[in-house]
Amino acid sequence: MIAEIKHLYSPDVEDLPHWNPGSEEFAILLQIIAGPAGSPGEESFDVTLCSPAWIVRQAAKEKIIQGRHLLIATEYDYTLISDFISEYVSSCQGQTWQEIASKLARIGRWEFEDYQE
């Protein structure tokens, strides 16, 4: 089994392919909606897409920031970013969706990450 991106979404940006952050400092929530390739079903993996300038500003304010689920891009180039994410997602393979999702959760917070049955 292999994963595929079903779509990319951000509640912060209406039109991801054409968005311009307006400066070198940016951070948005990016939701990677992925599922088994060629099959129905999808789940969300949330990552903060940010620039190094944003990290510098946050570190100055907070003194310490946690790096989990951050995707750092030196500039906002939608094609470059979506290609990077697509390559990562398609590299995640496994016998079960649970196995694949745990690999996808390394890049973004899986919506069922802390789910207990």
Counting other chains too, the contacts that 68-72 makes at CB distance below 8 Å and 24 or more residues apart are 68/109, 69/107, 69/108, 69/109, 71/30, 71/47, 71/107, 71/108
**Residues 100, 93: contact at Cβ < 8 Å?**
yes
pLDDT in the model for residue 117: 54
Distance CA 34, CA 72 (A): 20
Instruction: Tell me the pLDDT band of 65, cut-offs 50, 70 and 90.
Output: confident
What percent of the chain has pLDDT above 70?
A: 96
Choice among 3-12, 24-33, 59-68, 83-92 with the minimum mean pLDDT: 59-68
Distance CA 42, CA 112 (A): 12
Q: What is the mean pLDDT of residues 60-79?
A: 92
Query: Up-side HSE of residue 31: CA atoms within 13 Å toward CB?
Result: 14
